[in-house]
Amino acid sequence: MMMNFDDAGMKLSFRNQTAIITGAASGLGLAMARSLSNQGVRLALLDKNLDALVRLKEKLNGAHYTLDITREEEVKQAVGKIGEEFGRIDILINSAGITGLTNIKSHETATENVRMVFDINFMGSYYTSKYVLPWMLRNNYGRILHIASIAGKEGNAGMLAYSASKAAVIGMTKVQGKEYAESGITVNALAPAVIKTALVKAMPEEQVKYMTEKIPMKRCGTLEEVANLALYIVSPLNSFTTGFTFDLTGGRATY
């Protein structure tokens, strides 16, 4: 039986904290939002899907923003509004992402698709962190979590755009972790293998089989497992790890 922090009654001291979560209306973002909400964190939930956000309002309290994270000015304005409304920003989780077209070789990729994947997966995370960091610097405290992927470490055949964009996210994490190491701000990434989400269900079966067979545990990860590890990473307890990419791969990544 799987247990999470909330089931165990564990509180991680998120007193008076505010979190921004992108891609919050579904999948990993929603799972992490629920965990933080259960810890008493005030939420600013960002997603491009208006219908999903409307449905989310019925399930999860917080400020809800329809936002295209590939548009820098929209991100800048939204972060400023959130900061002014809540008075502080303590946590940023960049969960919004897409796989793009998969199960295709590099010479068959469409340039437009590769650019779109980078705009969402990398540039979106860059924009949000760029405008959130000044708010964190005001209080000399913050936790940033970029959702990366094992594909960003090892590269998945047939997934050029996704693998390369997540590798860029990992590179950014290392840079930002070093840049703000003395400021009370930690910047880390989480690299899952295959997680049971709608995103994965929409991928070609052959591609999912290829990825799952690489996992020694021979199963997909769960949303609860992602949320449990993420909860620790963005908590005050995680005070001496920064610029690091946490593994969540069922034994695939042993380095």
Residues carrying an active site annotation: 162
Instruction: For residue 107, give Cα distances in angstroms to 153, 157, 161, 170, 214.
Output: 21, 12, 12, 25, 24
Q: What is the DSSP letter of 220?
A: -
Write 147-151 long-range contacts (CB < 8 A, 24+).
147/28, 147/93, 147/94, 147/95, 147/97, 147/189, 147/190, 147/192, 148/173, 148/189, 148/190, 148/191, 148/245, 149/191, 149/192, 149/193, 150/191, 150/192, 150/193, 150/247, 150/249, 150/252, 150/253
Contact 67, 43 (CB under 8 A): no
Contact 97, 25 (CB under 8 A): no
| Element of type H or E holding 143 | strand 142-147
